[in-house]
Structure 1
Amino acid sequence: MSDMRNLALQCREAADVLAQLSGEAKAKLLEAMAMAMEHDTDAILDANARDLATAEGKGVGAAMLDRLRLDPQRLGGITAALREVAGLPDPVGQITRDDVRPNGLRVQKVRVPLGVIAMIYEARPNVTADAAALCIKAGNGVILRGGSEAIHSNTAIAASLKRALREASVPDAALTLVEDLRRETILELVQLSDIVDLAIPRGGEGLIRFVAEHARVPVIKHYKGVCHLFVDAPADLALALKLVVDGKTSRPSACNSLETLLVHADIAPRFLPLAAAALRERGVELRGDAATRQLVPGVLPASEDDYAAEYLDLILSIAVVPDLEAAIAHIRRYTSDHTEVIATSDAANAEAFVHALRSAVVMVNASPRFSDGGELGLGAEIGISTTRLHAYGPMGLEALTVERFVVRGQGQTRAQGQ
């Protein structure tokens, strides 16, 4: 038996134990995990410093370094997320349907854990804690396979969390960190269809495509986040300017950052110079179509590739469009089905925008940066699905359960031939 298969089997056995825990017991366990991480703050930050030093030595880009970096504030955010998940309602056992059939059978649909989740991710050490919290709260075992760039951070965080599991008399295999970082381990993990119930890759497009193309288990896919903001003619320009600046500059390395700005032609002469000045003041490189370049000197030409790009950097593509329909057509052409925003004071235009687009998150007069499980009330998110599987958009606890039928009878039988 291979090492990977043996680890997965141990995780499945531990998941069976987790599935039997009460909601109260799981909440206490997550609180203990948060406390363990707080106790180990110095060790976790030291481990992260080692990862950062190695990454910088290899010339890793600024976006990746930002995803990798931990500091006391970010670590505090991780433990706060653990506690927030602990306080969320337990989805396991929730009854979502309760009917009595004419023959007296009582038919219920009840949420139960998925089983074993394989989490495959790059750079973000917070995912180690977030994924563990959500999977455990939903009664699942989790197999974590992080990237080499965060191995010391992930190992330090996992050690804290596993200690809390052991102290609660839960098998620590419920949280299994894969330390063999060869790509072959990913390949073997996602082909364990008799053990692993779902794979969730988080990282670059190359990693996600590799998992999706080789997996024999269901995969939640999120290739990239090409998020758009359309500033409509009736928009409040001050509001729209806030959305542009926040969407692009608050954390450009995030998948919910703004990548393309579309502006209605009627207001472009007034809005674009304001937006360009505010963005350039914050170091943003602008690339635009001919109409944009005519209104704002110094804007670089935007190519087809630019409008399809997830920059994850201080770069923004801009296009001027004649109307709402043209904005929708542009988004449909280049969307990654992540997040789209309209800034408008026209309620009819807002509704038309919402109903015309099928992206996982559609917003009216709000920053795309709110396209996040925590901000949308899910607690920490385990990922964002842009695939219409059983979950779509930011995924929280409910997305880590499945509904099954529970049928209660009094000896009913089905007549022969029916």
Structure 2
Amino acid sequence: MSFNNLTRRHFLGTAAAGAAVLAARPSLAASKTLNILSHRVHQTVLQPQGGENLLAEWSKAQDAEAVFSTFDSNPLQDRLFREAGLSKTDFGVGYIIDNRPTSDVAKLFTPLDDLMAKDPIEDYEDIAAGLRQGMTVDGKLIGIPVRHATGGLFYNEALLEEAGISAPAKTLEELVEHTKKLTFTSKSGTPVVGMIMASDLAIFPVSFARAFGGDFITSDFKLLPNPEAMEKGLAVLNDMFKAGALPRSYATTKNDDQVTWMQQGRAAYTMITFARFKQFNDPQQSQFPGKIKAVAFPGSESLPAGKMAGVTESWGMAIPANYPNKELAWSYIKEVASKRVTLGMAKNGNGPVRVSTYADPGFAQSNPLAAVEAEVLKSARGAFPPFPEAARAQQFFLEEVQLAVIGRKPVKEAVASMQQRIQPLLPK
């Protein structure tokens, strides 16, 4: 399951595999058509049912109609890459996930640097640096960021107060202390674990390694640039597991389990995308509406202030190299990436890629986490860069992490095994 949670305001699970049309709309009778491959959520935030059509100005100016073919995430990427590999495609814009464009995949798409130089995106530097980097392959820009899913540390304020804790953890060491104290039976009789996290996603061990100044794989494909930091991060997780502050079922815990346990008050802390805030506090789903809040995931007290890099995944808009009318496709991308449309999409539930969007008074008022999410986004980056063997590398990584966390293998041995198993998979 991807950390790139496509749910902001209940979008989870709304996209069925295969082409889908959101709702019947009157024909624009436009002279041009721009066919777009995307996830349904990308169309929904642009053309919400019963809301403002954010593409109306673009359609009028270009005398063009945007026609979406929507798929779930993995089928979408497969279809996009197949279309881009043909001699010619009718799809002018495709939405691509930042951990998919390897060097070979990137060659299927139009380098956007010349288009940027000729007809630039509005205030491109306003788009978070980590997201821009995720759409740059071999020094060439192949996509413009349009949506992100960035992780934060969520906590149940009611459970913290019950355990005598007045504020969420500010350092990793304090977080560990809290999770142990919060492994108790609440006054309602519910057994509580201090923290819950999925075992099948790299973001969690990567975050614990980054808390000590380390990483998994850097953007220039250095594996475990600071092995001691990874060892420290895994040692912390192992200590939490031994103390019962992680669920006994850690090895089989999934992303959706985190949501359920937090809503039911069975866990006090979790790390998940900021987009989950509304779901956590929905009175119809949660037993603690208004009590589940979030802060930035904290670094170790040994890490200099401001150096903790969050984890994010993002989507970008790309132009297949085999699409003939690149100017029309670029005009769409420019419009969707503009400040006006980025703000409009954010109000419709999109994860805004522009830092300035979070400062908009209207958006900030409707999103209690706007300030903290904006701060995390400034330095957030993906858990690992794209490369052909990335899926296998993540699998090997998570296998070793799980063995270390549950105590089946010494931490130092697990980290050494990561190095041995994953290094041959990296690009030469």
Bigger CA radius of gyration: 1
Q: Same fold (TM over 0.5)?
A: no
Which gives a bigger RCO, structure 1 or 2 (Cα 8 Å, sep 6+)?
2
TM-score (norm 1): 0.29
Q: More strand per residue: 1 or 2?
A: 1
